[in-house]
Structure 1
């Protein structure tokens, strides 16, 4: 005799709005949001760095707030609106942050750049950073092994006046 209340379902149907498009997936319950985006939706801009929430390479926006997608189960975000680096540009025009990163050469290898961009977009919408020191503090969850931090801060400062 088995107790069906203790059984984990094989798959769970989830729906998200990802970069403006409704997407439905059937996932095993332990699938991270990062793996759902990369492996199931093909959005490989979001990077798997440390897979422990320490580097920020997997940062995406969920309902406008920045999160580490490697630490978040997809099932926790059923119905959410998710923006990845692929969704920052609109109608073929780069997001002002993307252009500022180019203008300030705010990347070298580029591996952390998607997470840096999504985190910076969240930072701007939060409106809490007023100067370079606050930008550095509020972006401290996003690591860059190349050391492009001064250029990243300059790019964010350039974009702070963007509406």
Structure 2
């Protein structure tokens, strides 16, 4: 099935079986290997990408469901010579350790900071009628869908907090 996607600002056409996940389309058809296949069941967050600005687990959705959508992968957030603020903070705070979960962590954190900007509450937000404060508790809750086997969570949270405070 032909599917038109805008991937990292570039219009791309995918001609693949309708059962092809968005994750497999990105990795195997478009050679964008930054997005990782972890559990392939939506439990680890390694495959997190942004679809129209919102974070999703790309292993749980079919590519053909995203015809016309804007997909942002880690490659679209920043590159080695031009890191995003979050990528630079992950490096500065040693929030990547083995690095396998890092692309999903950064994609998720990018969307999470936008959720804060829009005033979206989380499960731990005390007053859901007010814009939530960026706290360690809020960040931990909002990033709970992204697992890190190296247990770099304190460093990941510190990196996110640094960027969040700079945007405030």
**Where does 1:94-105 land on structure 2 (aligned, <5 Å)?**
94-105=83-94
Q: Which residue of 2 aligns with 1:5?
A: none
What is the CA–CA distance in structure 1 between the aligned matches of 2:80 and 2:95, rounded to whole Å?
Answer: 23
What is the CA–CA distance in structure 2 between the aligned matches of 1:42 and 1:59, rounded to whole Å?
Answer: 16
What is the CA–CA distance in structure 2 between the aligned matches of 1:125 and 1:24, rounded to whole Å?
Answer: 28
Q: Which residue of 2 aligns with 1:43?
A: 32
What is the CA–CA distance in structure 2 between the aligned matches of 1:55 and 1:154, rounded to whole Å?
Answer: 20
Establish whether residue 149 from structure 1 lines up as the match of residue 138 from structure 2. Answer: no
Could you say what secondary structure the match of 1:82 adopts? strand
Larger radius of gyration: 1
What is the CA–CA distance in structure 2 between the aligned matches of 1:32 and 1:149, rounded to whole Å?
Answer: 28
Q: Which residue of 2 aligns with 1:3?
A: none
Unaligned runs of 5+ in 2: 121-132
Q: Which residue of 2 aligns with 1:162?
A: 167
Establish whether residue 130 from structure 1 lines up as the match of residue 134 from structure 2. Answer: yes
Structure 1 runs of 4+ aligned residues shifted over 6 Å read: none
What is the CA–CA distance in structure 2 between the aligned matches of 1:90 and 1:38, rounded to whole Å?
Answer: 17
Establish whether residue 121 from structure 1 lines up as the match of residue 125 from structure 2. Answer: no
Unaligned runs of 5+ in 1: 1-11
What is the CA–CA distance in structure 1 between the aligned matches of 2:167 and 2:12, rounded to whole Å?
Answer: 30
Q: TM-score, normalised by structure 1?
A: 0.90
Could you say what secondary structure the match of 1:123 adopts? helix
Backbone CA RMSD of aligned residues = 1.4
Could you say what secondary structure the match of 2:26 adopts? helix
Asked if the contact 1:61/1:82 (under 8 Å) is kept, the reply is yes
Establish whether residue 56 from structure 1 lines up as the match of residue 61 from structure 2. Answer: no
**Where does 1:76-91 land on structure 2 (aligned, <5 Å)?**
76-89=65-78
Could you say what secondary structure the match of 2:13 adopts? strand
